[in-house]
Structure formats: structure tokens, C-alpha cells
Amino acid sequence: MKILLADDNKDFCTTIAEIVGSFGFDTYTLFNPEEVIHFLDRNHKEINCLLLDIEFGPSHKIDGLDILEHSRKNYPNIPVIMISGKGSIETAVKATKLGAINFVEKSIVSKEKIKSVLDSAIEKLGPSGESSEIQTFLEHNGIIGHSRAMINIGDNIIRFGRTDLNIMITGETGTGKKLVAKAIHNISRRNRSPFVTVDIPNIPKDLFQSELFGHTKGSFSGALENKKGLFHQAHKGTIFLDEMGDMPLDLQSNLLLPVEEKSIRKVGAVENEEVDIRFISATDKDLINMMKEGEFREQLYHRLRECEIYLPPLRERIEDIPSIVEFYLQQHNQQFNDDKFLTPSAIEYLQSQNWEGNIRQLYSVIKVVLQTSRNKQVEISDLHKLIQNDNSAIVSTPGTAKISSDRTLKEDIEEVDKRKIESILDACKGNVSKSAVHLGISRETLHNKIRKYEIDVQLFRAKRKAPELK
């Protein structure tokens, strides 16, 4: 849950933010009503609830009721709680009519009151119908995740997919770029026509034009008959240029005409042919930097990237790991008529890893452990044995435990525990109360672990900074 707090009293706003943060919520704090409107318009999909002051002082042209009206009109799924130091029955009635779900006077604000109104807001919020539909769509396309990041990705897939714009999908290897490309095709008007993948790294350079554009009989040695290329196969459908960043610079110009004018010419032909193709490309490379280095053509980049969908690495959405594990677990049990399951601690162990190979690597680990484990119940020790034999599965980075053959299992588990705590403290910017909520343990227990593992909380608090407007 992400809560936006808006009040021109900075001390009061900061105090409320600390209280809200102690409940495990992420907070944004703003002190200017115009900035609140600006922030909502750009970040409304990330906001789950708005705590809003009514009075912002005479120097401002708008007040909290104006913000409330704007929010309810444009972003009705965001519940709004009004807070005022000059509350009146008339103001409360007006705020309620405008759509506020609760009204709290500053004179009676307490930690218990804030908790109560937030709990009420969460109950009324529930899973929105739109989010539920997006989740269903993603699952039907093999894309698993209920995090806000994945809902936003699903929303973009649907919105961009229904257009005929060219889309570039970016993100690390193993994040599911091809699944997203197929989902875009499935939601598009072209879904009854072919989806053709061009695996760029595996096409020999000397056969590139022939494979994509086709060739005429006798156009070169070995061209014994006319051949249609991948562009022909994708006519009326979608062509997916996978690993676009691996295309050699001297071949990139060959794509300019097909992308811009939907026109191609077979190798050996004298006339162009028109094709009706939608281009989706994917890369794990930094194409912006490649353009600066002269390794990627700027013209081609802008033609392929009319829209972009970025897929975050798995380590940035670890809340999706239980759902992903459950998905693969059900697949395994159905395929092998099995009834295996992972213990909660085993799933937490998976969430503590870095997953350099992202979902692809996680799937590989789950697949192997389920097929090799002799017990129905998969424990940390089963995963430990597997990962220990695969050094590529774990990379030692901040917040990630590295398995070592020089330690006992107990010591390795403690190392995982320590790194998990450090990772959450880092995400919560050193807020111990908030971190305890994320970890599902008491604040006292977390303090004991911090002392035991000699973790310096101040290092994480030093990373705190004011929220930036997007």
C-alpha cells in the first residue's frame, strides 16, 4: 500500500508519515496543493489512499476540497480521508458529498485513529474490478504476478496492444519479454494472423536478408527455388524481433524500409512488395548507450520504439514469487500426478535470492527441485543443496546470500536471514517498524536480530530522501 499525505504543516505531515510508515505502508508527503494535483496526475496508479488536509493557507488558490473533487472525478478508485484542524459539520458533510470516505479532526488524531481509518479505507478499497481483469488477462497469457508493477505492465499491454504502434520491450534476460510480446499480439486486432519470431542472434549474418526478406531462384549460389522470408510469413500479423540489440550495425539499415513503409524486396528481386506487419522488438541491451557509442542506429530505434514496456527484474518484485512458485507447482503436480508443495520458509528463502536469470532461472530451480526431491514437502535444505551445486543460481550482492561450502546449513540459513533483513531495511530506508511489518515479525524480534547480526541500521537511514515528483 502506498499512501499520499498532503498537508502544509510539515511537522504534522512528517509525524503522520512516521505513524503510517509504522503500519508497514509506503508514504509520499507533499505540502503544496498544486503539487498534489501534479503528483496525482502522474502517479495515480501507484497511490492506494490519500490523506488530505482541508486548509492549505491563503497563499494557495486551491484547498483540500478542490483536490478531493479532482481526485474523485479523475481517480475514483483512490479512497480519500480528510484531515482538518478547523473541522465543522458543514465541512464534513461537503467532503462526504464530494466522495471522502472519512473525516478526522487534527485535535483527535492518534495512532489508533489513523490505524482505524486506514483499515477502513483498505476494506473499502479491495481489489478493483479493473485490476482483477488485468490479472486474469495476464494469467491467461502465462504472465504471473499481482504486484503493482505487473498490473501497470498488464495495463500497458492492453492499451498499447489495441493500437497498431510498434512496441519495444526492455528488461533483463529471463524477465518474460517473449510472453509479453505474445500477449500484445493476442489482444491486438491481428490475433487471428501469424505471430512470427525473429531470433536475431541465431541468424547467420550472410543469410540475414534471405531469412527475413526471402529470395528469388538463382539470386545467389544455393538459391534453387523462390523462398518467402519471415516478413512474408508475418503478413497481416506481428513480427517479433527478439534480442534486437544483438543485430550488427551494418544490417540495421535493412529494417528501415520495412518498419517505416511496410515495404520489402526479396534478394534478387527488382520490385518491392507491400506487407502489413506490426513490429514488436525486445532487448536486454542499453540501446540509448549503444546509440551514443555508434552501435545502434537512432532512426531505427525511434521507429521501433513508438511505445515501450519495461519489465523489472524479479528481485524488484519479490512479492510475486509466491504466485509464480504456485503456478509452476500446479503445473508440475498436474503433469506428474504429484502433490508436492514448498514450505513457507522455503518460499521466503527463494525470495531472498538475487535471481540474476530472473523468472527463467527461478523456473529452472523449481522444476529441478520438484522432480528430484523425494519428499512431498520441499524445504530450505532441498533448495540449498540444489543451489549449492549451481554457482550461477546465486550471486553475492548486497541483500543476497551466497551459499558457501565452508559453512554449515545453520550458518547458511542465518546468512540468508541476515541478507533478507538488510534487503528489507534497504527498501524501507532503515525504518525498523515498517521493516518488521514486511518481514512478518515483531519490532522487538527484529531489533534482536539486528543486534545478533551486527547490522548498522544507520547506513540504510542515510539513504532517505524526499519524494520526487515524476
Is position 470 within any domain?
A: no
Say if residue 441's pLDDT is above 70. Answer: yes
Say if residue 329's pLDDT is above 70. Answer: yes
Say if residue 375's pLDDT is above 80. Answer: yes
Q: How many helices (H) and strands (E) does the chain have?
A: 22, 14
Q: How many CA atoms lie within 13 A of 33 on its CB side?
A: 20
**What are phi and psi for residue 290, nearest 5 degrees?**
-65, -35
**CATH number, domain at 297?**
3.40.50.300
Say if residue 138's pLDDT is above 60. Answer: yes
pLDDT in tens, 269-282: 888 899 999 999 99
Contact residues for 96 (Cβ-Cβ < 8 A; gap 6+): 103
**What are phi and psi for residue 399, nearest 5 degrees?**
85, 5
pLDDT score for 222: 76
- Same structural domain, 74 and 212: no
Say if residue 223's pLDDT is above 80. Answer: no
pLDDT band of residue 459 (cuts 50, 70, 90) is: confident
Contact residues for 26 (Cβ-Cβ < 8 A; gap 6+): 1, 2, 3
Rounded CA separation 287/257 (Å): 20
C-alpha cell at position 288: 540509448
Query: What percentage of the chain reaches a pLDDT higher than 70?
Result: 88
Torsion of CA 257, 260, 261, 266, to 10 degrees: 30
- Same structural domain, 421 and 291: no
pLDDT band of residue 394 (cuts 50, 70, 90) is: very low
Say if residue 49's pLDDT is above 70. Answer: yes
Is position 99 within any domain?
A: yes
Q: Is 229 helix (H, G, I), strand (E, B) or coil?
A: coil
Choosing from 98, 125, 152, the residue where a domain stops is 125
Q: What are the Cα distances from residue 361, in Å, to 68, 287, 310, 358?
A: 45, 24, 19, 5
CA angle, residues 291, 294, 298, in degrees to nearest 5? 40
Is position 15 within any domain?
A: yes
Instruction: Please tell me which residue, 292 or 444, carries the higher pLDDT value.
Output: 292
- Same structural domain, 322 and 207: no
Average pLDDT over residues 308-335: 92
Say if residue 313's pLDDT is above 90. Answer: yes
pLDDT band of residue 124 (cuts 50, 70, 90) is: low
- Same structural domain, 98 and 172: no
Is position 246 within any domain?
A: yes
**CATH number, domain at 36?**
3.40.50.2300
**CATH number, domain at 326?**
1.10.8.60
- Same structural domain, 261 and 395: no
- Same structural domain, 24 and 165: no
Say if residue 16's pLDDT is above 60. Answer: yes
Say if residue 466's pLDDT is above 50. Answer: no
- Same structural domain, 292 and 383: no
- Same structural domain, 180 and 283: yes
- Same structural domain, 205 and 259: yes
**What residue has cell string 502506498?**
2
**C-alpha closest to that of 68 among 44, 95, 28, 31:** 95
- Same structural domain, 283 and 362: no
Rounded CA separation 375/372 (Å): 9
Say if residue 405's pLDDT is above 80. Answer: no
Lowest-confidence region among 188-202, 229-243, 322-336, 455-469: 455-469
C-alpha cell at position 205: 549474418
C-alpha cell at position 129: 474490478
Average pLDDT of the residues of the chain:
84
Choosing from 296, 312, 328, the residue where a domain stops is 312
Average pLDDT over residues 210-237: 87
Give the count of domains, the chain. Answer: 3
Average pLDDT over residues 37-43: 88
Rounded CA separation 366/158 (Å): 30
Rounded CA separation 109/368 (Å): 54
Predicted TM-score (pTM) above 0.75: no
Residues in a beta bridge with 81: 51, 102
pLDDT band of residue 262 (cuts 50, 70, 90) is: very high
Lowest-confidence region among 27-31, 46-50, 244-248, 363-367: 46-50
Residue 469, classified by CB atoms within 10 Å of its CB into exposed (0-12), middle (13-18) or buried (19+), is exposed
pLDDT score for 468: 41
Is position 466 within any domain?
A: no
Q: Are 100 and 82 within 8 A, CB to CB?
A: yes
- Same structural domain, 184 and 92: no
**What are phi and psi for residue 197, nearest 5 degrees?**
-95, 130
**What are phi and psi for residue 228, nearest 5 degrees?**
-85, 140
pLDDT score for 462: 65
Contact residues for 242 (Cβ-Cβ < 8 A; gap 6+): 177, 178, 181, 197, 198, 199, 200, 281, 282
Domain around 162: 131-312
Q: What are the Cα distances from residue 132, in Å, to 126, 129, 307?
A: 10, 5, 24
Q: Are 400 and 352 within 8 A, CB to CB?
A: yes
**Cα 157 to the center of its chain, rounded Å:** 13
Is position 469 within any domain?
A: no
- Same structural domain, 210 and 190: yes
CB atoms within 10 A of CB 232: 18
Residue 119, classified by CB atoms within 10 Å of its CB into exposed (0-12), middle (13-18) or buried (19+), is exposed
Q: Are 29 and 51 within 8 A, CB to CB?
A: no
Lowest-confidence region among 86-95, 423-432, 461-470: 461-470
Is position 467 within any domain?
A: no
Sign of CA dihedral 172, 178, 179, 185: positive
Is position 153 within any domain?
A: yes
Choosing from 312, 337, 360, the residue where a domain stops is 312
Q: Are 10 and 31 within 8 A, CB to CB?
A: yes
Give, to the nearest 10 degrees, the angle between helix 409-427 and helix 432-439.
130
Chain length of the chain: 470
pLDDT score for 24: 79
Q: For strand 273-274 and strand 263-264, is the pairing parallel, antiparallel, or unpaired?
A: antiparallel
